[in-house]
A = this chain, B = another copy of it.
Amino acid sequence: MRVLGVDPGLTRCGLGVVDGGKGRAVSCVAVDVVRTPVDASLATRLLRVSEAVEEWLDRYRPEAVAVERVFSQHNVRTVMGTAQAGGVVALSAARRGLPVVFHTPSEVKAAVTGSGRADKAQVTGMVTRLLGLAEAPSPADAADALALAICHLWREPMRARLAEAEARAAELAKAHKARLAAAAKKAKGAAR
């Protein structure tokens, strides 16, 4: 399974493609940071991010896209731009019918380092080690994009299993309800 991880942003947007193998084996396919000019209009910056993501989707053909979920209340202006960039990324993936999953920063940190409160240096260190990279990806946005992809690869099977179990439980509950209704109807018929 191949995943494109995206740490969305207008000033710097991290992109990382990771292949998952057996168990927890992961390997880095590509990593980069897209920058858009600070003095360009918001629409132009979003277009640039969108074009870069489209290009990566064409080139690396990932099977899923993992995007960082923005939550922070700090600096509303920056957060809005980040959310908009994330929306544009999700749109590109949805257009191609690719699944898009949003992971919170603490989910990503927990998946990669074992702690939801790990700092940037710890995340970068673990990403570098897990992917067997010769040097640490830089800037942090690049490492974060790779961490997102790894998080998705490791969490997704569990999430899918859970969704399957829930669907089966709902199916069983439905069948049980139908049996109950049939029994009630039969009882009514016998009483008449």
List chain B residues, Cβ under 8 A from A84. 83-84, 86-87, 90
Question: Shortest Cβ distance from A99 into chain B, in angstroms?
Answer: 8
* CA A87 to CA B82, docked complex, whole Å: 10
* CA A44 to CA B102, docked complex, whole Å: 13
CB within 8 Å of B: which of A36-77?
41-44, 46-47, 50, 70-71, 73, 76
**Cβ-defined contact, A47 with B83, below 8 A:** no
**Cβ-defined contact, A100 with B42, below 8 A:** yes
* CA A44 to CA B80, docked complex, whole Å: 20
As a 0/1 sequence over residues 147 to 166 of chain A, the CB contacts with chain B under 8 angstroms (1 = contact) are: 00000000000000000000
Q: In this complex, what residue of B is CB-closest to A86?
A: B84
Copies of this chain held together in the complex: 2
A111 beta carbon closer than 8 Å to chain B:
no
Number of interface residues of A (CB under 8 A): 25
List chain B residues, Cβ under 8 A from A100. 41-43
Question: Shortest Cβ distance from A90 into chain B, in angstroms?
Answer: 4
CB within 8 Å of B: which of A87-141?
87-88, 90-91, 93-95, 100, 102
Q: In this complex, what residue of B is CB-closest to A98?
A: B43
A85 beta carbon closer than 8 Å to chain B:
yes
List chain B residues, Cβ under 8 A from A47. 91, 94-95
Q: In this complex, what residue of B is CB-closest to A44?
A: B94
Contacts A/B (CB < 8 Å), 11 sampled: A42-B87, A43-B91, A43-B100, A46-B90, A50-B91, A73-B73, A83-B83, A84-B87, A84-B90, A85-B87, A88-B91
Given contacts A42-B90, A46-B90, A88-B91, 19 further A-B pairs with CB under 8 A are A41-B100, A42-B87, A42-B100, A42-B102, A43-B90, A44-B94, A46-B87, A46-B91, A47-B91, A50-B91, A73-B73, A80-B83, A83-B83, A83-B87, A84-B86, A84-B90, A85-B87, A87-B87, A88-B88
